[in-house]
Chain A
Amino acid sequence: MTRHRISRAAALPILALGLVACDATPPPVGMVRGAELFETCAPCHGDAGLGDVDIAAPAIAGLPQWYIQSQLQGFQAGWRGKHADDLAGLRMRPMAVSLNREGDIESVAQYVASLEPTFPPSTLHGNAGAGAALYEQVCVACHGAAGRGDEILHAPPIVQLPDWYLLQELEDYRRGARGVNPADTWGITMRANTLVMTDQAMADVIAYVQTLR
């Protein structure tokens, strides 16, 4: 074989590799694509989606696909994570905006939903007994007696969420950093329920939620 023939033979696979590299078609919607997209989430939420309290990134592993999709759509539309006082939300929003191809949100939500949830230990030490009454009075209607949520009411499961995150979000609702955008229909409902809650009531109800695991 002459040198030219060898060069030509070598050029073909190189050209093929180049064409593959230039192919911008994403993998089909689903777990493979979701796993690929999750690499963007992992630096904050962790490889297993268990969160990181130091950067206010909550555990998201095992949250239902419909809820993850809904929140990512909210971040993109600006009804979540676009309030000047919602510091964690402001950090999350541009990451959600970067999911800009058709099927990205569905894929990553499916992947996150497939991750195994854990039940982080309590750190707030509220009074679960006192919290039970408030939970039965206010929260149970949407989040359910077992805290597993209700898709029809757009209420997510809350039992596997870390207590620091639950407190952060309740405080954000109460001070108007979340649930004030008119497009956030379900958030507005949630905010209304937090307006009368004291700091102690929040700690107590969170302590009760953690007994539902």
Chain B
Amino acid sequence: MTPELLSTYAADIDNIILLVAVLTGFWFVAAEGVFFWLIWRFRAKPGVKSEYLVGNERHVMKWITWSHGLVLICDVFIVIGAVQVWYNVKQRLPEADSTIRVIGQQWAWTFQHPGADNQLDTPDDIFTVDDLHVEVDRTYHFVLESRDVLHSFSVPVFRIKQDAIPGRAITGWFEATGTGEHDVQCAEICGIGHGVMAARIHIEDSGQHAAWISSASAAQ
């Protein structure tokens, strides 16, 4: 069972994975079917001598060329769909309502949220470890960094996964479409504690989020 779909592009990512699975699954079943049918069809029979086929005769070649052409047509559909999703998720950067900084390190996530001024890198910023707070229906930019080795910021309900690379600040985006508390994980082997490098994302409505900013600011 897959996790809920809670970002604006989560369904697009699932759909392209489904398209790839269906098309490759169809061709896998078809190829295996033809393979075993040929084994059965040309099985050893008493009195029938085997025949050596070079494979370049027209009636033999069609089994390769026709299916090859059909696979290429399927590839076109996959490429068009994948490029659209890639552009939307990775290349396009819609205007942000808010920006957060996500810092990976062995083996924790540090999140820098803007405070009440909604500006990052100001004195009222709120730092948390392993707890990310965002507001539903708002576009967030995240600036992803790593303090040590490769990590990957993965939020399964958003279907997002982005590598964090030491020395680089990588910007991405998401917009949550539903509230709740969900997993954040590291999706890149990063050492012995990789498996327990887990965090939680708290997706809140505007009232809840304002209340959290207020209480977290007071505790800073």
Residue contact B129 to A94, C-beta cutoff 8 Å: no
Residue contact A91 to B105, C-beta cutoff 8 Å: yes
Nearest chain A CB to B192 CB, angstrom units: 5
| Contact flags B166-207 to A (C-beta < 8 A → 1, else 0) | 000000000000000000000000001100111000000000
Interface size counted on chain B using CB atoms at 8 A: 17
The B-contacting residues of A in range 14-52, CB under 8 angstroms, are 40, 43-44
Nearest chain B CB to A108 CB, angstrom units: 15
A90 with B196, Cβ < 8 A, contacts A82-B129, A82-B130, A83-B129 known: no
How many pairs, one residue from A and one from B, have CB atoms within 8 Å of each other in the complex?
Answer: 38
Instruction: Assess whether A188 is interfacial by the CB under 8 Å rule.
Output: no
Q: How far does the alpha carbon of A95 sit from the alpha carbon of B198 in the complex, in Å?
A: 12
In the complex, residue of chain A having the shortest beta-carbon distance to the beta carbon of B219: A182
Interface bracket on A:
10 to 19
Instruction: Assess whether A98 is interfacial by the CB under 8 Å rule.
Output: yes
Q: How far does the alpha carbon of A66 sit from the alpha carbon of B146 in the complex, in Å?
A: 35
Within 8 Å by CB of A91, from B108, B110, B130, lies B108
- For A82, A94, A95, the residue with the greatest tally of chain B CB atoms inside 10 Å of its CB is A94
Instruction: Assess whether B9 is interfacial by the CB under 8 Å rule.
Output: no
Nearest chain B CB to A163 CB, angstrom units: 24
Residue contact B129 to A95, C-beta cutoff 8 Å: no
Residue contact B197 to A94, C-beta cutoff 8 Å: yes
In the complex, residue of chain B having the shortest beta-carbon distance to the beta carbon of A43: B192
Q: How far does the alpha carbon of A87 sit from the alpha carbon of B148 in the complex, in Å?
A: 10
Within 8 Å by CB of A87, from B147, B193, B197, B198, lies B147
Which residues of B approach A to under 8 Å, CB–CB? Answer: 103, 105-108, 110, 112, 127-130, 147, 192-193, 196-198
Question: Mind listing 24 A-B residue pairs with CB under 8 Å?
Answer: A40-B192, A43-B192, A84-B103, A84-B128, A84-B129, A87-B105, A87-B147, A90-B105, A90-B106, A90-B107, A90-B108, A90-B110, A90-B129, A91-B105, A91-B107, A94-B107, A94-B108, A94-B193, A94-B196, A94-B197, A94-B198, A95-B107, A95-B192, A95-B193
